[in-house]
Amino acid sequence: MKNLILTPIFAIFLVTLTLNSFSADCSISLEGNNMMQFSSTQLNFSSSCSDITIKFKNTSNLAKEIAGHNVVVSKDSDFDALTNMVDPSNGMDEGFLPSTPMVIGKTPFLGPNETYDLKISTSKLNSGQTYVFWCSYPGHWGIMKGNLVLN
């Protein structure tokens, strides 16, 4: 009698476990809006992913030259050094940032309704380390900043 009850429960548990591993969070959508806000302040990816993708869309109606949005991924401990390197002379496609290993991944500045899939190999990320994603448009990163973690 005991087995008759436990077997279906165990079967449901196994199915749930299998479905979860297939739907592991390896790709997450993110938007930047007119109010200088990201749609999330926390991005949780699964450490089982070989790479992660941030599917970014700028939903603002402001031209990228006036207030573009992008996504930069770095260690939180490199954030201050990187914001000090922001210089428009580096160009919009580079997010105003120079080439530096402190940038783990970045997108160009996007204008209204533009999208960009930022893919990062998880070999560049450690579980338990605090990473941040932020917009490198001058004046934006005070608000447009969130945490990225591998769980």
**Contact track, Cu ion, 44-73, x by CB under 5 A:** -------------------------x----
Nearest approach in angstroms of CB 49 to Cu ion is 26
Q: 34 is written with which tokens?
A: 């007119």
Q: How far is the CB of 144 from Cu ion (least distance, A)?
A: 5
Tokens coding 116:
């960009």
Beta bridge partners of 120: 52
Site stretch for Cu ion (CB under 5 A), options 10-18, 82-90, 119-127, 137-145 = 137-145
Residues 6+ apart with CB under 8 A from 144: 32, 36, 37, 38, 69, 134, 135, 137
Pairing of strands 145-150, 42-45: parallel
- Between 18 and 91, name the residue whose CB sits nearer to Cu ion: 91
Q: b or e along 49-81 (b: 16 or more beta carbons within 10 Å of the residue's beta carbon)? A: beebbbebbbbbeeebeebbbbbbbbbeebbee
The residue number with the shortest CB distance to Cu ion is 135
* 97 binds Cu ion per the rule CB under 5 A: no
Of the candidates 60, 73, 140, 148, which one interacts with Cu ion according to CB under 5 A? Answer: 140
Closer of 97 and 150 to Cu ion (Cβ) = 97
Separation between Cα atoms, residue 106 and residue 135, nearest integer Å: 9
Q: How far is the CB of 102 from Cu ion (least distance, A)?
A: 19
User: For residues 131 and 137, which CB has a smaller minimum distance to Cu ion in the complex?
Assistant: 137
Q: Which of 82, 110, 120, 135 binds Cu ion (CB under 5 A)?
A: 135
Contact residues toward Cu ion (CB under 5 A) are: 69, 135, 137, 140
